[in-house]
Structure 1
């Protein structure tokens, strides 16, 4: 019987590294962020409602969403973040559910969802795996990767459930404070266990 595995973590904890490695190993990984980008792409299904909620200047002249501007709004305003999530999340779930139904017939399916616990989607999973790092590492990676100030990075981290809480709620944990090779070893052990469950 194939399993649905929720894969989550905090921003800049290394979830994408885990997803990419799982894909290389031949597993299906459905990435909520990729579906989110589809819904918010130029002429995407979420754009009209986003314009209505955030104003016409949230898209540029070419019709592309100004992600940096939107980010600076939602990561500093919980109500606006909730409003955006109410627009985008149902569209993402619809797309992901359709693909999940298709792929679960052939093998295990990983759902890469940053806000897995926040949205109660862990209830749909047979197992949950959380990728974690310590807070200092998270801030360092996020400021370097996204060209953010420490304050901006902290606002993004604080907008999510604490990683320590996610780790406690998970069935499996991947510690990404070490090297990428150490992370891969943990993934290999987990997938070996998965195949024998």
Structure 2
């Protein structure tokens, strides 16, 4: 199953709930961080492309600094994706091969729509909230300035594009209890589809 949603949509909250039900969750962001750890070929390539300015003093990737660069320039974002995505794909495949028979695998991927990946999954689940809710959540939870949040939202697929590829939509604009109930419904649907 492919799980996606824009920044601040609550996709990670949905993934966590699905893991509690027994799904194997593969977090594309976590994999993306892993493949750019210090000493990796990907980090060396990023530094060669964007300069030492994208490193923290301890030699790690400064993701906010790199994000400010690439989310303001489509060509730079495309170049970053060329460096990171093949490595993420390879590592993801390794993780998916570990899933046992009958396991529901949830691939939590923010850029599923942007990278044309919907066809790779048996089911695509989209976590959806209004744009202003996204902005409010990210400003409150991550302390990111609203203009940077809006730049990231603009760099991502819009709500209509995500919904167009969705097999299942989870509206996460309500309460935690409403999200719990909706995820429980989705889990039942995923089990039904897996059994079919």
- Measure how far apart 1:136 and its partner are: 1.0
Between the aligned partners of 1:60 and 1:161, the Cα distance in structure 2 is: 29
Contact map agreement 1:29 1:111 (CA 8 A) in 2: yes
Q: What is the CA-CA distance between 1:88 and the residue it aligns to?
A: 0.3
Q: Distance in 1 between matches of 2:138 and 2:183?
A: 23
2:41 partner SS: coil
Segments of 5+ residues of structure 1 without an aligned counterpart are none
Match of 1:69 in 2: 65
Query: Could you list the runs of 4 or more consecutive aligned residues of structure 1 that deviate by over 4 angstroms after TM superposition?
Result: none
CA contact 1:58–1:70 (8 Å) conserved in 2: yes
Q: Which one of the candidate residues 17, 20, 37 is aligned to 1:24?
A: 20
Determine if the alignment matches structure 1 residue 98 to structure 2 residue 94: yes
Give how far 1:104 is off. 5.2
2:122 corresponds to? 126
Task: Give the paired residue count.
Answer: 193
RMSD value over aligned CA atoms?
1.2
CA offsets 1:60-87 (integer angstroms, 9 cap, x no match): 3421112221111011111111110100
- Give the TM-score normalised by the residue count of structure 2: 0.94
2:157 equivalent in structure 1: 161
Residues 40 and 46 in structure 1, CA contact (< 8 A), matched pair in contact too: yes
Q: 1:16 to 1:50 in 2, by over 3 A?
A: same
Unaligned runs of 5+ in 2: none
The equivalent of 2:111 in structure 1 is: 115
